[in-house]
Each structure stands twice: as C-alpha cells, then as structure tokens.
C-alpha cells in the first residue's frame, strides 16, 4: 500500500499515467536500478537516549527526494524531509546521496512506532506532486520508559483510631506494560490489591494505581507507609512514602482533679483539667460554670510525649462562696474540629455553725440509706433470736409442768383486783396451779421475794383450817432480784398455797 501524497502535492494517477505513456522515455524508467535498503526491523531504546534509523540507496533512480515517515496510510507523519523536520531529528551524514540515515535525540515514549524510509518521484504536470517510488520494510521502534516517581495519597480527612483507611499509590509514563508494586509499613510487607494498569495519554505508555487498606492505631503516629514500584527499565525499585500521622486522629482523654471537691466557705479550690494522649496538636479548651463559660488564662502549651502524642493541663481557681455551693464546673475540649468532650465536678461548700458541712450530698444520702437498711436487718435478726429464746424457755416450762400428774402450770390472766392491791415493780411472773377435779376462782396473792413467784393451787376440797395451807415457790430465771418479804396470808378457806422450787439454768 502506497502512502498518499502529502499536503499541497496531491497524487494525480490518471494524468500521470497518460503523461508517462506519451513520453519516449517510459521504457527507461522500468530499467532504473535504484535499490533502497532499510536493514533494521526492530529497535529498542530507553527514554532519553538517541537512536539511529539506517537507510541507504544504491543505483540510479528517478528524480525526487528521500524522506522518513512514521506510520503508513492516512495516519502517516513526516519525521524528516529536506525542507522540514523536527529539531530532534537530523541526518547522520549530511549532503550524502546514498546514506539517508537519521538520528533522533532524547526519544520519548510517544516516539515509539514504525518508521519508513521512502523514495519519492516527481510527477509531471501542474503542481509537481510526489508519488512513492520505493520504500523500506519499516523499522519498529520501542521506547522503554521508566515509571514516574510513585505518589502515595491518603484520605481527604483524618480518621480516628480503629477506622479502616485506604491509601493509593500512582505512577505513569512507563513502557512496557509489565510492572509490579509492593507495600510496606515500617519496612514490613503488607498485603494489597493487584495494581491496575491502563493506557496513558498515548498508546506508547501506561499508568498504574494500587490500593491498600489499613486499620489505624495510636502507634501509627510514628508509622510510615511505603509503595515500591519495580519495572524492567529500573535498576532498583522506586519508592513513594506516606506518614500515617497525616491521616490519623487520636482523641484525647480527660482527667479532672480533684474528683470530688468539698471545701470550707471562702477558701480557694484549684481544679486541674489534664488532657492526655491526643493527636494532632490542634485543640481548644474552655471552663464552664453551670453552662456559663469562664475566662481561664492558666493553660499550658501542648507537649509531645515520647510516643508522639500530645498532652496539656489547665488550672482553674475557684472561690468557695456560699452561693456556689452545689455548682458544677466543667472542663470542655474540642479536638481537631470534632464533637466536644467534657468532664464535670461539683463544688460542695462547708459552712461552719450550720447543721452538717454544707448541704447533704446525694452520695451521703445513699450512704445513710445503706446504713439504715443494715441496721434494720440486724434488728430483725436480733428480734427473731429473742423470740426463739423465749419460745424455748416456754417449751421447757411447759414440759416441767407436765411432769407432775396432778397439776398444770400455766400463766393466768391478771385480774384487776390483784393489780389494784399491789403492783409488780420487779416484773414478776405468776403461775396458777389448778387441779383437774374442780376449778375455783381465787384471788392471787403475791409474795415479793428475790427469786420466787407464787402460784395458787386449787384443791378439790377446801382445807379445814389455815394451818393446812402450803406455799409454792417458783424460782424463775428471768425474775428480777428483790428483797424477801413475808408470804401473804391466804384470802379464802378453799385455797391453799404451795412453794415449788425450780432450779436456775
């Protein structure tokens, strides 16, 4: 396929044929011995070098120039001509009629392509157009280009610790297509996706992008991410780096000292707000009292720790007046444009001369409630123990009464007469011994002695005389000691009194 004529020199094939046929020298053209040789089939170069494209002509040929074209067909482009050429393209041997080799300096990937050495002949007629007489087989030029320096980019905004963040490595302008990428964090390899290779602005070069995803930790404030690119044109890998602190945000922690504050009235209390372990340095601190911002000037500069994080402290002096009792003081911090974090302490003012030290704090109320609950439980347990002991004593008394077949020991109801006759100052207990045959109501007489109580014994038949009366002395463990008194005289002839001794346990 012959390349079309260029620019203002159109090819007029019908007119040319007629003119050639009418000339007597047409047969002589066929006998021209011109031979064009383009020996290089392929040429590989590296960007920036100088290449030489060889072309020689031997024998005789028709008049016309020899030029170099890049490409063939409608897409061809003149690289060298006697009248015009690129500044980077020159002939190797100037003014030579046989050697038409050219050299191209500082070749670039866009110089890659197929080059043809072409012998043109001039047409006869108006315009003096050119047509192709002979051309070489073409030389395929490949320009191996090194990739550009890799560039590692991170997220558009900082991310907190624990967040997964993607980083991208990009490079371009390389040829051939083969390229490899390796990611490292602090010199340790990490896994990443396969690089994506796409054609560049021209078909003779390529671009590459690779992505890796990491979960950030506070220690990454001193970590470095690296992207290494390996290509056949490189003697050693190219490296692009990224400091992870540029994408990291470590939220601060607050400590407000003292944690609980109780101070005497008109004393000065110093509150300390410590802000620790944050990155970056950008931080705004303020004090508030009940939501109202206070003016504080005693705030230190942020100091970097050996771990690469920052810390600072701020002091607030508070005058403990009575009207500030129960006031809440808050240290608020806004870090790196994030939502504020805060810590609050309540001031309790102790006023001498008043009940307690200031108002009772909620924590004291809770403590009193716990104390009351414990005391209630202890009292309940003690009451149950006393009830159990009384029950055991009554059970033993009941068993002692049943041991006598002729008498039953019980605790009679107190009559109003006995109450009116003589009171019981020593909490004495009385028992009524009734015989089973007959019950008679008798008035109980009390003998006041140190360790005794008296019981009435109701017999089936009344005694004939007073000297037949006996007395029972009941020695109870729980009776109070009292001086002995004479036994009371019986009131009725039908009653007798007996003294029964019960051993003390």
Asked if the domains at 151-249 and 253-358 fall in one CATH topology, the answer is yes
Residues 448 and 427 sit within 8 Å (Cβ to Cβ): no
Write down the residue that tokens 């690296």 correspond to: 226
User: CA nearest 332: which of 283, 298, 297?
Assistant: 283
pLDDT at 353: 63
Span of 133-137, 292-296, 334-338, 467-471 with lowest mean pLDDT:
467-471
Instruction: Provide the pLDDT confidence category of residue 488 given band limits of 50, 70 and 90.
Output: low
Backbone angles phi, psi at 74, to 5 degrees: -70, -15
- CA 81 – CA 344 distance, rounded (Å): 86
Q: Stretch 253-281: mean pLDDT, rounded?
A: 90
User: CA nearest 131: which of 32, 9, 27?
Assistant: 9
Instruction: Provide the pLDDT confidence category of residue 483 given band limits of 50, 70 and 90.
Output: low
CATH number, domain 253-358 = 2.60.40.10
Residues 76 and 10 sit within 8 Å (Cβ to Cβ): no
User: CA nearest 29: which of 21, 39, 37?
Assistant: 21
pLDDT at 330: 94
pLDDT at 57: 93
Mean pLDDT of the chain: 77
Q: Stretch 419-442: mean pLDDT, rounded?
A: 44
Please give the model's pTM, rounded to 2 decimal places. Answer: 0.56
| Residue 224 burial (C-beta neighbours within 10 Å; 0-12, 13-18, 19+) | middle
pLDDT at 409: 38
Quick check: 344 pLDDT over 70?
yes
Q: Which fold has domain 13-144?
A: Immunoglobulin-like (2.60.40)
Q: Stretch 386-397: mean pLDDT, rounded?
A: 87
Domain-wise residue ranges, the chain: 13-144, 151-249, 253-358, 360-392, 404-505
- CA 424 – CA 482 distance, rounded (Å): 11
Exposure class string for 79-112: b at 16+ Cβ within 10 A, else e: bbeeeebeeebebeeeeeeeebbbebeebbbbbb
Q: Stretch 65-82: mean pLDDT, rounded?
A: 89
Span of 172-186, 393-407, 432-446 with lowest mean pLDDT:
432-446
Q: Stretch 372-378: mean pLDDT, rounded?
A: 85
Tokens matching residue 328: 């809440």
pLDDT at 484: 52
Cα angle for residues 287, 292, 297 (degrees, 5° grid): 35
3-state secondary structure 36-63: EECCCCEEEEECCCCEEECCEEECCCCC
Residue range 93-105, pLDDT digits in tens: 988 989 999 999 9
Q: Which fold has domain 151-249?
A: Immunoglobulin-like (2.60.40)
pLDDT at 370: 80
Instruction: Provide the pLDDT confidence category of residue 469 given band limits of 50, 70 and 90.
Output: very low
Q: Stretch 267-282: mean pLDDT, rounded?
A: 94
């Amino acid at each position: 396929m012959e390349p079309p004529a260029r620019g203002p020199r159109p090819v007029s094939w019908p007119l040319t044929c007629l003119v050639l046929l009418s000339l007597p020298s047409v047969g002589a053209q066929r006998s021209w011995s011109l031979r064009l040789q383009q020996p290089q089939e392929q040429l590989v170069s590296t960007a920036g070098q100088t290449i030489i494209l060889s072309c020689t002509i031997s024998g005789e040929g028709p008049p016309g120039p020899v030029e170099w074209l890049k490409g063939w067909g409608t897409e061809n482009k003149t690289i060298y001509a006697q009248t015009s050429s690129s500044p980077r393209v020159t002939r190797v041997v100037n003014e030579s009629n046989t050697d038409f080799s050219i050299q191209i300096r500082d070749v670039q990937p866009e110089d890659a392509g197929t080059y043809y050495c072409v012998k043109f002949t001039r047409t006869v007629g108006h315009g003096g157009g050119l047509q192709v007489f002979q051309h070489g087989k073409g030389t395929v030029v490949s320009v191996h280009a090194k990739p550009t320096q890799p560039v590692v980019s991170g997220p558009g905004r900082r991310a907190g610790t624990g967040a997964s963040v993607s980083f991208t490595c990009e490079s371009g302008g390389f040829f051939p297509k083969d390229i490899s990428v390796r990611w490292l964090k602090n010199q340790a390899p990490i896994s990443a996706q396969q690089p994506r290779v796409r054609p560049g602005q021209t078909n003779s070069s390529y671009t590459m992008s690779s992505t890796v995803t990491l979960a950030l930790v506070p220690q990454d404030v001193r970590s470095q991410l690296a992207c290494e690119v390996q290509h056949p044109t490189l003697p050693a890998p190219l490296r692009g780096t990224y400091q992870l602190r540029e994408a990291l945000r470590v939220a601060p922690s607050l400590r407000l000292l003292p944690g609980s504050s109780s101070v005497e009235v008109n004393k000065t209390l110093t509150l300390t707000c410590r802000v620790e372990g944050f990155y970056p340095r950008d931080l705004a601190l303020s004090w508030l009292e009940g939501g109202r911002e206070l003016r504080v000037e005693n705030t230190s500069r942020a100091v970097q720790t050996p771990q690469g994080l920052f810390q600072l402290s701020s002091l607030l002096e508070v005058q403990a007046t009575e009207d500030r009792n129960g006031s809440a003081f808050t240290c608020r911090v806004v870090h790196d444009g994030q939502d504020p974090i805060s810590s609050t302490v309540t001031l309790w003012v102790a006023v001498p001369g008043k009940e307690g030290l200031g108002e009772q704090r909620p924590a004291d109320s809770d403590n009193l409630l716990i104390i009351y609950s414990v005391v209630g439980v202890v009292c309940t347990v003690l009451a149950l123990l006393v009830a159990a002991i009384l029950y055991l004593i009554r059970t033993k008394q009941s068993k002692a009464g049943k041991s006598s077949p002729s008498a039953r020991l019980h605790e009679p109801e107190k009559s109003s007469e006995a109450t009116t006759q003589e009171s019981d100052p020593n909490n004495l207990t009385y028992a009524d011994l009734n015989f089973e045959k007959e019950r008679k109501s008798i008035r109980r007489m009390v003998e006041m002695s140190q360790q005794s109580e008296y019981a009435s014994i109701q017999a089936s038949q009344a005694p004939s005389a007073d000297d037949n009366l006996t007395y029972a002395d009941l020695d109870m463990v729980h009776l109070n000691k009292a001086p002995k008194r004479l036994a009371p005289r019986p009131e009725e002839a039908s009653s007798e009194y007996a003294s029964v001794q019960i051993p003390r346990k």
